[in-house]
Structure 1
């Protein structure tokens, strides 16, 4: 069956390729400098006094990046952990993160596609394709963006419609019968109206097996498409970009393996030995979960997701000012079955049924005339609705089955603005403010265990009215050196812990967190062959949101708590060197360290022993996250007559990721290397690439955790290799 699916996908993609990726470069000026839109206008990246990394489509292809989680190996100080190996991404940038496997809380890092925010983490897990560049902005964002974030922002910019006909495609086949393909066509419909249609698929790739039956698990089955319509009548001052996109994902899950022996049925059943092969896994499905869902006997862990959305980015240049409107609507239907005990025993089987819709409207006004003053002001409104079913089957370990049902509504309105004033050609000051009102309502949260209502439908709400902002200075003592310093404040929403609980105190809201960020940095181009950027930051963290527990009427209840005060500091360095014609070497390094300064945390074992709340002082203990990250790339374009042969490699290192759960769940440090050999005619339309990823077969985990009685981990993909063919007309 796998071979049939693979051949079918290959046939479909090759047909699209032959009739017409999508390897767009990072947008460049005529002098080769990288153009970014981090500040809502086109600028040379080296002229922007913000710590940011730019990843172009070539590097995305070489690293095999197909979803946002894989960006952690392409930029410093970024970790994106798949909670329990599932669809809830846990973002952490410069140590600012939020560990939550539920669907309802906001992330610390904002993800945007063509200026549209994806405020619910599970919405970020779609297929990445036809992307021109990714900008990773570090530090609080809010004076230029519709949403407020404490950690930073990840901005995806897709390839835009062209005013001349172009078409292309890519097909890739690799180990484990993995198939990936893209195709696009772009060109004018009439004068001033251009259209681009693109699509992508990812198939196969299973590298794990059931330890009992040998059945494979992990095949991808993802499809996505996008249509962009650009409208820009000549001489009218008007421009518009309409974006329509759709995605379908019925992929199998990446399985979990057992770190330790699993005594099933609370010790009354057989003991499943710890897995010596990290690619072994297991799963089971109870009659109760079958009855409550649309799952069928024989189904394996995986997803059945569908997404679609549309946006309109419209602007009009009045001559001295430009008015911009961004209207967006996105919808997601998610069904996800996961086996968190990694066995046929029903110890921790879960199901998420989520329906999400988000409407957003942003309006901005900015000056469009050159001069010492540059400014932008805007207003943002957003409404997001979530209907969630979360079922947990513990029948073999606790003899019960838990159902959680709730709805959540989030409404946000804000005003923001930023101005820059150049006191001289060498010195500039920047100031920004943001005021926001947000209300979160948890509606009808109810839980039941074994069919008995534990918590009747309950309504809880929380709101915030933060005033945040930014003050920065930029100094260019020479044309090839930028120095900057900034102080900014960001806020992340409060929220609710929506796990299994029979106690109303378990869903009491936790408070928003606030980050005061201080940063100094430089961007330098000492010569045409050498570029170096560096930054140092210090974060004063207030009310940091930490997964912990609170003491209620019925004992300890798992819930997010607020650590009153903590701090994070660190430094980053990024280098680009072109020592010879056709040779490019890049390197990044990031180091960060964090500590709790004030935090009395509930000691759950001690509290249960004495029957009342017992707290432990965690002041001056480390915040658990990796300290060191580094990576880079090497590329050498070798002319060979009418062809160019380009060997290249990328590499990344992530330090040990300590866990607040204990040493068993620490993720060991890892070093991963990818390599590629590319052949292309010097002036021809096609490229053939032989690639290898994780070529030294580094054995490492993406996440570790436990649920009920099982200590589990998700393994990263082993060494893989394959061929890719692309063509552009």
Structure 2
């Protein structure tokens, strides 16, 4: 039994080690490179230091007042040591690091990983992903994304379903490139996966309160512990309020407040040492207001654009439109969303192999009002409802002993989804071209099944060969599409379907040249099914399905810790060879105008590199720098040139499609992305410590349309933040002061066109806040 005095010594030693000091001598604390990384006292379950001391596999002996104690509170300079021996370019982040960087939603992940872009669609909760230049802009969110979101090994077919779930996290991983031969669903761009904290065998509880500028508050709490022998639970939740920083210059009205709550519960049953059954369920309600757009250019018509300041935006919802969509008059652009679901994980170890079964069901009920012309006029006011559900089932059988030369996994994955959407548009003030209200309704059905396998074999001299293969059948259809112009006509369109049977795979080799150096090369083929454009349909041809996308990716990388616990260098170079890359193009509808339509670029390519530098040069200083650089171009992409088509209409008053081929044109993705953080960790006494430092991110310019220049190209931006954290050695609580966008830079996160205007979605101004958390 460890005494209270000993417990305090353990906590103090862990804090000193976190600052790079030996608990007794105050000198730099060496940590052998071959030992597994030891968790900090800041663990997800807030285990006591005494318990950690008993379970450590890398103890440090401390002698004080004739007491000898094993301490496992050592916080290594770098995390995820075991991953340094994996042949991948993944970015891995602890839940603690996400909190430090203020990453509380999907969009925030682009600030902590290279070559990753996650953009809000018109300021809404819906998002589009781009990773290594792979991605597309899908406003209707009814197609499979090239980059999938996972929570606890469950893929979310529609990224909006992940809204509100980023709390009580254990860790996050960004995986670039084709995936699917080891688990889940294949795709071309990669995945962003999150693992949430699980039930614990001892009682733990905690809470966090975050208050910042513009009356923003974020509250979290959890409780976890045993219920009976072999049975434990965890319950966690969050509430987000306020934070809106935009006003309407016409009337001073306020916009942008968050109004979200979420709850997650887990029940774990371990009937024996070989079997685990984990049932999880969650629910999210989001009534948050949107971020309003800023009109940048007048594309159609001669009226002036609103003059708005950096934190201003205009909007208006006509009473007639509010009555039509069934919402209260005077409503602001906002969400009215419900998400709920459950998943069941069953794992059993047979000794010679392990089996895992994952069943999941996710539901989305969305009502989303946006003002897409960003003016007080009703030229492009939109309201979207989505009723969707997805069932997935995965079964995996894998080798049981990680030390064996042969490692293998085989499995199957099944997905079935249903979706019904209805779009309402108010074009009343868009005259003379339209001047009416309109609704588009459609249904989606999708079903897919895949079988996958992956194996690796370790040869002599630490050389490992690996290969994987996947086959997938996918069938999807769009049904019952109707376009209704109120007071005029109703158009009904016949159903369309598309199906595909294709293979994906991977082959590669890795070499553990030294204990601290891994090099690897791999080739991966990925594909994703075709789909449909279902927004603002006017003619049957708009429902023609776009074709499946395939990519062959070549990747060469390395992972190294050249100076143990002082310097880590990881990097990878890649080349993507695309066929039929799915991309948002343009189609001209006679007497209507140009509309966005998902289509295929027959041939395109992208290439680049990415990497991470972790540096601990002196005892208190810890630095992380991610960098990504990528280029790409279309080798063959015939489409309508939207900019030239709009310009012709402005000059002649007649719609005429100006056809073009964007062969040789840059793919428009940000060429350079940088993000990083510096921490100074200092023990200020035997009982307390402090951490402080800046963080930063830079994003290069991004073309929002193929070949886009001028205002069609989103400007680059640089953001600077900082934090200071005070905590006791026990780490049962901590207090943080922080600031984001310290320089109060004016920047834009995405852009688009809605009928008459081209607009940008502005980023948040400077926030100054404080965060207090406790855990026991």
- Cα 1:278–1:23 change in 2 (3 A) is farther
Q: What is residue 109 of structure 2 aligned with on the other side?
A: 71
2:78–2:614 Cα contact (<8 Å) kept = no
Q: Give the TM-score, by structure 1 length.
A: 0.92
* CA distance, structure 2, for counterparts of residue 509 and residue 617 of structure 1: 21
Correspondence 1:565-604 to 2 at 5 A = 565-603=603-641
1:432–1:471 Cα contact (<8 Å) kept = yes
Q: What is residue 361 of structure 1 aligned with on the other side?
A: 393
Q: Does 1:526 align with 2:562?
A: yes
1:625–1:658 Cα contact (<8 Å) kept = yes
* CA distance, structure 2, for counterparts of residue 532 and residue 386 of structure 1: 45
User: C-alpha deviations, 1:59-99, integer Å up to 9, x for none?
Assistant: 21122111111110111000011121123211000010111
Q: What is residue 297 of structure 1 aligned with on the other side?
A: 329
* CA distance, structure 2, for counterparts of residue 557 and residue 222 of structure 1: 33
**For 2:542, what is the secondary structure of its paired residue?**
helix
Q: What is residue 14 of structure 2 aligned with on the other side?
A: none
- Cα 1:209–1:552 change in 2 (3 A) is closer
Q: Does 1:427 align with 2:457?
A: no
1:88–1:102 Cα contact (<8 Å) kept = no
* CA distance, structure 1, for counterparts of residue 448 and residue 78 of structure 2: 34
User: C-alpha deviations, 1:190-228, integer Å up to 9, x for none?
Assistant: 222111110111110010001111011111011011111
Q: Does 1:400 align with 2:440?
A: no
Q: Does 1:352 align with 2:397?
A: no
* CA distance, structure 1, for counterparts of residue 248 and residue 662 of structure 2: 41
* CA distance, structure 1, for counterparts of residue 46 and residue 760 of structure 2: 36
* CA distance, structure 1, for counterparts of residue 270 and residue 505 of structure 2: 34
Q: Does 1:252 align with 2:299?
A: no
* CA distance, structure 2, for counterparts of residue 704 and residue 25 of structure 1: 42
Q: What is residue 239 of structure 1 aligned with on the other side?
A: 276
- Cα 1:22–1:711 change in 2 (3 A) is farther
- Cα 1:467–1:588 change in 2 (3 A) is same
Deviation, structure 1 residue 234 = 3.5
* CA distance, structure 1, for counterparts of residue 487 and residue 473 of structure 2: 39
- Cα 1:35–1:365 change in 2 (3 A) is farther
Match of 2:419 among 382, 386, 399: 386
Q: Does 1:473 align with 2:473?
A: no
Match of 1:688 among 723, 732, 735: 735
Q: What is residue 107 of structure 1 aligned with on the other side?
A: 145
- Cα 1:214–1:527 change in 2 (3 A) is same
Q: What is residue 33 of structure 2 aligned with on the other side?
A: none
* CA distance, structure 2, for counterparts of residue 544 and residue 30 of structure 1: 48
2:446–2:477 Cα contact (<8 Å) kept = yes
Deviation, structure 1 residue 241 = 1.5
- Cα 1:205–1:278 change in 2 (3 A) is same
**For 1:169, what is the secondary structure of its paired residue?**
strand
Correspondence 1:646-661 to 2 at 5 A = 646-660=691-705, 661=708
1:381–1:413 Cα contact (<8 Å) kept = yes
Correspondence 1:270-669 to 2 at 5 A = 271-275=304-308, 277-369=309-401, 370-397=403-430, 398-424=434-460, 426-528=462-564, 529-550=566-587, 558-603=596-641, 615-641=659-685, 642-660=687-705, 661-669=708-716
Deviation, structure 1 residue 229 = 1.3
1:649–1:675 Cα contact (<8 Å) kept = yes
**For 2:449, what is the secondary structure of its paired residue?**
strand
Q: What is residue 140 of structure 1 aligned with on the other side?
A: 178
- Cα 1:514–1:261 change in 2 (3 A) is closer
1:314–1:326 Cα contact (<8 Å) kept = yes
* CA distance, structure 2, for counterparts of residue 95 and residue 599 of structure 1: 16
Q: Does 1:717 align with 2:754?
A: no
Deviation, structure 1 residue 567 = 0.6
Count of residues in Structure 1 that have an aligned counterpart in Structure 2: 697
* CA distance, structure 1, for counterparts of residue 467 and residue 305 of structure 2: 60
* CA distance, structure 1, for counterparts of residue 57 and residue 623 of structure 2: 21
Deviation, structure 1 residue 614 = 5.8
* CA distance, structure 2, for counterparts of residue 172 and residue 430 of structure 1: 45
Q: Does 1:181 align with 2:219?
A: yes
Deviation, structure 1 residue 424 = 2.2
1:433–1:469 Cα contact (<8 Å) kept = yes
**For 2:575, what is the secondary structure of its paired residue?**
strand
- What root-mean-square deviation, in Å, do the aligned CA atoms of Structure 1 and Structure 2 show? 2.3
User: C-alpha deviations, 1:455-512, integer Å up to 9, x for none?
Assistant: 3142110011111100011101111100000000111221101111220001110001
2:298–2:756 Cα contact (<8 Å) kept = no
Deviation, structure 1 residue 22 = 8.5
Deviation, structure 1 residue 303 = 0.4
**For 1:535, what is the secondary structure of its paired residue?**
strand
- Cα 1:508–1:453 change in 2 (3 A) is farther
- Structure with larger Rg: 2
Q: Does 1:162 align with 2:200?
A: yes
Q: Which moved more, 1:247-256 or 1:704-713?
A: 704-713
* CA distance, structure 2, for counterparts of residue 117 and residue 600 of structure 1: 33
Deviation, structure 1 residue 612 = 8.2
**For 2:711, what is the secondary structure of its paired residue?**
helix
1:262–1:272 Cα contact (<8 Å) kept = no
Q: Give the TM-score, by structure 2 length.
A: 0.86
- Cα 1:159–1:73 change in 2 (3 A) is same
**For 2:702, what is the secondary structure of its paired residue?**
coil
User: C-alpha deviations, 1:681-718, integer Å up to 9, x for none?
Assistant: 12251101111111111210111222111222211111
Q: Which moved more, 1:597-606 or 1:509-518?
A: 597-606
Q: What is residue 3 of structure 1 aligned with on the other side?
A: none
Deviation, structure 1 residue 172 = 1.1
Deviation, structure 1 residue 33 = 9.2
* CA distance, structure 1, for counterparts of residue 299 and residue 510 of structure 2: 58
**For 1:61, what is the secondary structure of its paired residue?**
helix
2:280–2:343 Cα contact (<8 Å) kept = yes
Match of 2:243 among 186, 205, 214: 205
Deviation, structure 1 residue 659 = 2.8
- Cα 1:711–1:599 change in 2 (3 A) is closer
Deviation, structure 1 residue 669 = 1.1
Correspondence 1:31-50 to 2 at 5 A = 32=76, 44-50=82-88
User: C-alpha deviations, 1:98-143, integer Å up to 9, x for none?
Assistant: 1121120111101000000111122132241000111000111111
* CA distance, structure 2, for counterparts of residue 323 and residue 636 of structure 1: 44
1:24–1:132 Cα contact (<8 Å) kept = no
